[in-house]
A and B are shown apart, each in its own frame.
Chain A
């Protein structure tokens, strides 16, 4: 279906409620709601969701109070089959800062709306679970960090308060508090387990400990500086996040980067996928006390990390992405080394796969542990590897081709069981795919420049940038003001969508399996908290 047909359908259904509808950057349908028709927001969202089986991707707000005396809501949907995005923009008057909750009908928008409530002070009326998400209990209730009248340098006084943790009662029910400082070398977050004996009845999480104000920091900064911020949204996805940001800037300026730069970006994205997946496979083996599996996985991963260092000068591929391309070129002489490492990774992983899957102690721990059912995954909007392991066959590389992924042939591995085993196997399969994607890239790496210069950002513009990171789709949205300065930078990490999945997947499992289940999702705290 073409974007024109979609626009016509929307136009005929909602003509009286829409201010504007148009296509931007080829694959973004922009729908602007009339300000007095805010109550139609959920209806339009649901229509889009049902009519075109559109997936909810993200929702965020921006503050335009100074110029227009209104906030703006943005609801983003992905029409996978049509390879299109659809963004619904809805103005919210500053005099009446509330809006009808979409999450009341589409639970995937749950966290996004709660974050909007906490950071912009816009109330989602009818939200099924409107408690604080972003705000910690010591954050003053009427202070909204993302509003323009809140200075980034302010330091709100701490107030008294407790976490809004629901209590689970009954004979033999215990609460186990964990964190924020955890026992391993991992990021901080607070978990509260309610258990009866060993099985977990309910898990509640308090995140946003690592909130660093990244989105707010970007406001007013030059895009070159924001690029370095984007590299530090989530360290493990350095290249994914910086690619999404560069993509947003490039789309906003109407640039297509040189083919060589596209190929180099794919190379980096796939290297990032390989090193993270190998690490996760190793850590999963570690968490079932199968140390030999851990040691071999980590040994091979370290080969990839040191290749990164030789290729780009940085193990985490930092300082490589640039607006309009990449900063570092690939020398011909190193290509055979990459090729032979890809063969090594495949062979080693095949062997490791056999070792793991033939060990009863491993298989027994992985199978049927931490099941995330497909229907749950679909309802709460789970993305990336976690979604694919629960049968959701979605991948931005195929569904929203970027960077020339459409010129490559690759499979999108999926599993149906949704357990730790499925998430492990999806990773193993993806590493295999990534190695052959890299081989395809090296086969026909185009000559030419690696970077083109970027003009100044256009004024009062909006653009999306995205890529399929190793964990799942990464999406950045950029807005500029009437001077062309960045006025809103929204970062959407797949972790933000997948954290709720963990809370479902652990139910009924025993506490000692929690670290394993947690690892099998391997969600980023920093990417979630920003």
Chain B
């Protein structure tokens, strides 16, 4: 017993200071890709589209007009686009991508005759006014200080599970925020759903959703949860959590690093200052 105590005292405090202090990922981190639309031609955008394994980069051309878009909901952060078009696409260190609205995960630009006419950059997060309009806003008020989370794997590759499980280790220590993983949806305020929702888990996800008492929050985790990711829609995959149950918060990543998950969860609880 004394040995344990000594070991613990020797080890000291290991818990991260995030989110009180920023936790900047390393320089070569594969974070959110950023397209410099000023510097890129439609042809080069199409090359990026071609190498993108999930269709996160899409270019549509209609006569002289073209529209290019990049969605962090389906991006798997592989860095292929930045390799193919290094002069205009970079992998940033940005990882705090969680949002209430899927539309905010999309960056797009319009071109006429190959000339850039407009860029729509996503706002980082909803303004307070917009949040006020949200039907589910009440929930966040109710859940303000404590949150019980039920994790639901709807067909994930288990990458997201590794990172969610890491939230419980002494480094990330989720419980310091009053957040707690529970064993049953009946005990839960929040469903943390991973995976593209496979055909074989569709019904289980629905039943889990129904078994969770109101008010409840659903969080879609990872590229698969946000959009179906690399698996997309097929005989085996439904293509994202919001195809089956309403989703309140999207946490992109493949998988999101634990800090990104933490960011999303705190955002859900209304405990992050609105950017």
Contacts and interface: CB of A to CB of B under 8 A. Distances in A.
Nearest to B254: A318
Chain A interface residue bracket vs B: 35 or more
A236 B162 contact: yes
Interface string A387-403: 00000000000000000
Enumerate the 9 nearest inter-chain pairs by beta-carbon distance, A residue then B residue, closest first.
Answer: A235-B159, A213-B236, A183-B183, A298-B169, A235-B158, A313-B28, A235-B157, A228-B53, A232-B157
Contact of B204 (A153, A187, A188, A319): A188
Given A213-B231, A302-B171, A526 B157 contact: yes
B98 to A, nearest CB: 18
Given A210-B195, A298-B169, A156 B156 contact: no
Interface in B236-265: 236-237, 254-255, 257
B183 A211 contact: no
A373 interface: no
Contact of A319 (B8, B79, B162, B184): B79
A234 B80 CA distance: 21
A526 B200 CA distance: 12
A474 interface: no
Contacts of B170: 295, 298-299
A316 B236 CA distance: 25
Interface of B: 3-4, 7-8, 11, 14, 25-26, 28-30, 51, 53, 76-80, 83, 91, 151-166, 168-171, 181, 183-185, 195-196, 198-201, 204, 208, 229-237, 254-255, 257
A336 B157 CA distance: 33
A236 B158 contact: yes
A121 B78 CA distance: 36
Contacts of A310: 26, 28
B184 A183 contact: yes
Contacts of A302: 166, 169, 171
Contacts of B29: 309, 313-314
Contacts, number: 183
B28 A312 contact: yes
B143 to A, nearest CB: 20
Contacts of A150: 235
Contacts of B30: 313-314, 318-319
Interface in A214-228: 214, 216-217, 224-225, 228
A183 B182 CA distance: 7
Interface of A: 136, 145, 150-156, 180-181, 183-188, 208-214, 216-217, 224-225, 228-229, 232-236, 238, 279, 292, 295-296, 298-299, 301-302, 305, 309-310, 312-316, 318-319, 327-328, 351, 355, 524-526
Q: Could you tell me the dominant secondary structure of chain A's interface residues?
A: loop
Contacts of B3: 355
Nearest to A182: B153
A217 B83 CA distance: 24
B177 to A, nearest CB: 17
B204 A209 contact: yes
B162 A235 contact: yes
A181 B158 contact: no
Nearest to A298: B169
Contacts of A136: 200
A185 B183 CA distance: 9
A313 B78 CA distance: 10
Contacts of B80: 224
Contact of A525 (B11, B158, B166): B158
A145 B229 CA distance: 21
Contacts of A187: 153, 156, 158, 161
B204 A234 contact: no
B195 A217 contact: no
A279 B200 CA distance: 28
Given A180-B204, A318-B30, A318-B254, A212 B166 contact: no
29 contacts: A150-B235, A151-B235, A156-B235, A180-B201, A181-B204, A184-B183, A185-B151, A186-B153, A186-B161, A209-B204, A212-B236, A213-B237, A217-B231, A232-B159, A234-B158, A235-B159, A279-B162, A296-B7, A299-B169, A302-B169, A310-B28, A313-B29, A313-B79, A314-B29, A314-B77, A315-B163, A318-B159, A319-B30, A526-B156
Most chain A beta carbons < 10 A, residue from B4, B25, B51, B235: B235
B132 to A, nearest CB: 33
A526 B230 CA distance: 14
A272 to B, nearest CB: 11
Nearest to B26: A310
A185 B161 contact: yes
A151 B154 CA distance: 23
A235 B11 contact: no
Contacts of B181: 184-185
Contact of B14 (A208, A217, A234, A299): A299
Contacts of B83: 327
A234 B157 contact: yes
A27 to B, nearest CB: 30
A371 B83 CA distance: 50
A181 B235 contact: no
A153 B233 contact: yes
Contacts of A319: 30, 77-79
A446 to B, nearest CB: 22
Given A180-B201, A236-B158, A318-B254, A212 B7 contact: no
Contacts of B204: 180-181, 188, 209
B231 A235 contact: no
Contact of A233 (B78, B157, B234): B157
A302 B173 CA distance: 12
A316 B11 CA distance: 26
A152 B237 CA distance: 10
A185 B165 contact: yes
A89 B199 CA distance: 32
B184 A235 contact: no
A298 B174 CA distance: 14
Nearest to B93: A313
Contacts of A315: 163, 257
